[in-house]
Structure 1
Amino acid sequence: MAKRQPSRRRSRLAALGLVLPMGLMGLPGAADAAPALPFTPAPKAFEQWLNSQRNWPQGQRLRFQGLAQCLDQTTRHSPYRTPVYTCLAGEVHLSGGGRHDQRCPLQRVSYFPNMKRVRYWTAQCQPAG
């Protein structure tokens, strides 16, 4: 029986140290699809969805506004990237949870549909007033 020669693509991937399981080779959309977003992928819809959430840590209340520069990276199928919907501009008002009210410029707010988690990063917060 003749020995099967590896395909050129598989050989190039192996040379890079990137050998994929055969099930993923050459099949478009083979990566698991991300669960659907619980909001329409638009800044205002994301903002409204975030503001409807009530289960923030330490009893805090968060109010997001002015979300912009948003990227929907949930529809790209890649085994190397976690699906995410992200906005790179806006602001969050923090209150409750035993803290003083604060207003913080957002550096990023992201929703990860596979984990059903929100993460946000802020610049220097100021007292709300």
Structure 2
Amino acid sequence: MDAVTAALTSAGLTVYLGGAPAGVSPTATGPFVVLYPEPGRVQAASLADDRVDFSAVVQLTCVGLTAEQAMSVSDRATAALSVVLTVTGRASWKPESLDGLPVQRDDDVVPPVFYAPSRYRLRSIPS
């Protein structure tokens, strides 16, 4: 997640892990991205059962005050994740875009916000 966060912050995006902190809203802080990662899993790299290959899926939820802001954050996040991520001691693939949902409005917060979730698969092996 450090590599994903670094790629997104390098693109000028504000990133939170597992939810936005209390008091954070696009009104106060501007648009942002929330990462919801799964823990990931190691996979056997060979018949010897070396469990060193890693894969995980992370959901990016791009949040803005308007649908346009949420889409803009999503576009910037997509561009930031279109490169091979740097992970010390590992060789990784470009994040693989899996799916996304249409921009939605969340009326459970005041003021309402718009969000656009998308998921990416991350994979790496020892270098």
TM-score, length of structure 2 as denominator length: 0.31
Query: Larger RCO: Structure 1 or Structure 2 (Cα < 8 Å, ≥ 6 residues apart)?
Result: 2
Larger Rg: 1
**TM-score (structure 1 length as normaliser):** 0.31
